[in-house]
Amino acid sequence: MRFKAQRGSRSFLPGTTTPTMGYNGDFLGPTIRVKNGQQFHADIENTLDEPTTVHWHGLHVPAKWDGGPRQVIPTGAHWKPEFTIRQPAATLWYHPHAMGLTGEQVYNGLAGLFIIDDEVSERLNIPKQYGRDDFPLIIQDRRFFQDGHFAYAQNMMDVMNGVIGNHLLVNGAEKPFLDVPREKVRFRVVNGSNSSIYRISFADERPFFQIATDGGLMEKPVTLTSLLLSAGERAEIIVDFADNNPAAGVTLLVKQFNGQLFEAMRFTSTGPAENQTDLPQDLAAINWLKESDAVRTRTFVMKTMGMDMGMMGGGGLTINGKHMDLKRIDETVKLGTTEIWEIRNSSDMMMGMPHSMHLHDVQFQILDRNGQTPEPREWGHKDTVLVMPGEVTRIIVRFADYTGIYMYHCHLLEHEDNGMMGQFEIIR
Ligand SMILES: [Cu+2]
């Protein structure tokens, strides 16, 4: 596939034009779809006037093709990653990850979906006709200046709190509507926002089923009435529209952590009634990692220090007291081993900031939060996990197949860009 990271423009607000960035277009990028075991090639050209990278979020790939801050694509250059897909069916995504530029470039529109299929996802009797009963919902909030330009990070408060928007976009549009068949429909929900954490639900409080976490299908569907996703997290859900009222439709609600509620989009069903099928009760097998398999535990303390912020310019965002340094390897991990990573959010209650920890290359499993088993909605493969103020979240992870240097970081992009990131190296 050929990709071009390019500048463009789009009209989001009536009467204004917003300068944007996109892959092969003005905003967002094409959906990549591959099958497990397949070889993937891309040719990515950077036509921006600044460096960029393309990170495959959630993909298990050789370090040199990870697309993190170590794989810079200078202006005018091409980058040609090639790797084999070695993981189960999942909804993943891709976005830039250049040092200090991630937040701005994602905000401008650089992001796209990366879908993996496998025998299990193809065999299961679940909605899978993309664009008919299987849709992506890339949820992103934005702020605008009056002239229509994006109002990206303006001050230290924006860095500390993350840039939180007062407009809500789904797949790049504000309050879109979608006509869905009168049956079960699958949504691949991506929180593609820079720093917002969302609770997602339907205005009529209808229950729905979660079938996949970040890294793929769950063992069994989980019934929910709302879905919590921090920045970078994904979930696949099945919603039954058999009873959808053609005139009124169903409204998707998205609530930010600060309480702001958006009527994000509306689903109408103007077509005829469809045959109803039952959702399978068994989805995919998961190879659960056992605590007893872990060779060690590492601790990661994520800290937001309000006092330092104004004086040092982002100086207060650290993991284990350190700011990101490309020249420093923070953790060295042995290939083929399993470890427990204990992630502590020690931001004080005054400045109580949630963080969203993301590891490159691997899919992990959540062992517990403050000693408690996570809720069923998190029983599955994860690459990003929300850690609330004061919380201790333990994850278990196996480092397999590839050696090299990868990133771990807060996926609140303003935190990441301002130092809340580290590097782990997998060695033989
Ligand atoms: Cu953070």
| Boundaries of every domain in the chain | 2-122, 134-268, 291-427
Q: How far is the CA of 410 from the centre of ligand 1 (A)?
A: 5
pLDDT at residue 307 is higher than 60: no
Q: How far is the CA of 306 from the centre of ligand 1 (A)?
A: 13
Q: How far is the CA of 94 from the centre of ligand 1 (A)?
A: 20
- φ/ψ of residue 149, rounded to 5: -65, 145
Q: How far is the CA of 71 from the centre of ligand 1 (A)?
A: 23
Q: How far is the CA of 352 from the centre of ligand 1 (A)?
A: 10
Cα–Cα distance, 364 to 373 (Å, whole number): 15
In what order do the strands lie in the sheet containing 355-359?
331-334, 421-427, 404-410, 355-359, 384-387
CA 395 vs. chain centroid, Å, equals 17
When pLDDT is averaged across residues 160-175 and rounded to a whole number, the result is 96
Q: How far is the CA of 421 from the centre of ligand 1 (A)?
A: 9
pLDDT at residue 215 is higher than 90: yes
Q: How far is the CA of 302 from the centre of ligand 1 (A)?
A: 7
pLDDT at residue 350 is higher than 70: no
The fold of 291-427 is: Immunoglobulin-like (2.60.40)
Q: Give domain 134-268's CATH number out of 2.60.40.420, 2.70.170.10, 2.40.50.140, 3.30.420.40.
A: 2.60.40.420
Helix or strand (DSSP H, E) at 366: strand 365-369
Chain mean pLDDT for the chain = 95
Q: How far is the CA of 193 from the centre of ligand 1 (A)?
A: 13
pLDDT at residue 347 is higher than 90: no
Q: How confident is the model at residue 315 (pLDDT cuts 50, 70, 90)?
A: low
CA dihedral sign of residues 73, 196, 416, 363 = negative
Q: How far is the CA of 416 from the centre of ligand 1 (A)?
A: 7
Which residue, 225, 220, 223, is CA-closest to 200?
225
140-151 residue pLDDT tens:
999 999 999 999
Instruction: Indicate left, alpha or beta for 231 from its phi (over 0: left) and psi (-120 to 50: alpha).
Output: beta
Full-model pTM: 0.96
Q: Hey, what are 350's tokens? A: 């005054």
Q: Hey, what are 291's tokens? A: 């605590």
Cα–Cα distance, 143 to 392 (Å, whole number): 32
Q: How far is the CA of 411 from the centre of ligand 1 (A)?
A: 6
| 291-427 matches 2-122 in CATH topology | yes
Q: In terms of C-beta distances under 8 Å and separation of at least 24 residues, what long-range contacts does 77-81 make, across chains too? A: 77/45, 77/46, 78/43, 78/44, 78/45, 78/46, 79/42, 79/43, 79/44, 79/46, 79/53, 79/54, 80/41, 80/42, 80/43, 80/44, 81/40, 81/41, 81/42, 81/44, 81/54, 81/56
Cα–Cα distance, 98 to 50 (Å, whole number): 10
Based on its alpha-carbon atoms, the radius of gyration of the chain, rounded to whole angstroms, reads 21
77-118 residue pLDDT tens:
999 999 999 999 999 999 999 999 999 999 999 999 999 999
Q: What is the DSSP letter of 152?
A: -
pLDDT at residue 311 is higher than 50: no
Higher model confidence: residue 247 or residue 61?
61
Q: How far is the CA of 118 from the centre of ligand 1 (A)?
A: 33
Q: How far is the CA of 257 from the centre of ligand 1 (A)?
A: 14
Neighbours of 159 (CB within 10 A): 24
CATH superfamily of 2-122: Cupredoxins -  blue copper proteins (2.60.40.420)
